[in-house]
Amino acid sequence: DKKAIEPITVLFFVTAALLGFLVSYLFLLTQEMFFTIIDTPQKAEKALGIPIIGVIPFGEEKLINELTLNDILSDRFNSIFSDLLNMLSLKKSKALLVTSANSGDGKSFVSVNLSIAFAQGLKNTVYVDASLRDEAGPNYFQLPNDLGLTSYLSGLAQLQDIIQPTKVPKLSFISTGPISSNPALLLSSTKFTRLMEELKLQFDIIIIDTPPLHFVDAL
């Protein structure tokens, strides 16, 4: 006797659904493991294993002392300032180094605005432009760069000669000075260590802007 064989419709759809789910899950898992895009603070914390203390909106580079108090950029930097102040107090530290992964990430923009935020928080602050491979700092403050960090480290100037007041109350600035052919050597010298000790005696907060991490200077 001949008997018609028909597919079991329910089993067919259940199997297809399970296979579709499994393939999709494996695809997403592979992307997450090997092609992760860090596009949220949560992903950054997970990838780096360190806390994210603030997120700065992307846009035009402005100084927060020129913005209104309720501007979102000012608000973000003031929030970061508050968290950093607590962290520095707990560690009993006065110095904060700012660097980045690559050139053009905005570390000097962050350094300058953090310095302004600390000064506006009534902390006697000095911004040290130790990014000796370029002259990003003077462009923000519009101050001379004839004498600066390299001048002091090379023995061509005294500390009081390179500290410049800015338009922001309680904020001072030390420029790069003439660009050095061997900045890493200057920054690793005992004279730089003595400079830091002197600045700690004169200021509440020291913000140090360094080159990106692919240069040895930051290390």
Task: Average pLDDT across each block of 10 residues of the chain; the chain has 219 residues. List them in order.
Answer: 71 85 84 70 81 80 80 89 89 92 86 94 94 67 90 94 95 91 89 95 95 86
Q: Report d(CA 131, CA 135) in Å as an integer.
A: 7
What is the structure's pLDDT at 2? 65
> Contact 95/196 with Cβ under 8 angstroms?
yes
What is the structure's pLDDT at 3? 67
Q: Which two tokens stand for residue 63?
A: 């100084």
What is the structure's pLDDT at 134? 63
The reply to whether the predicted model has a pTM over 0.85 is no
Residue 1 to residues 4, 8, 128, Cα–Cα distance (Å): 10, 21, 95
Residue 210: DSSP 8-state: -
Report which of 127, 186, 108, 101 is spatially closest to residue 152, judged by C-alpha positions: 186
Q: Report d(CA 101, CA 121) in Å as an integer.
A: 28
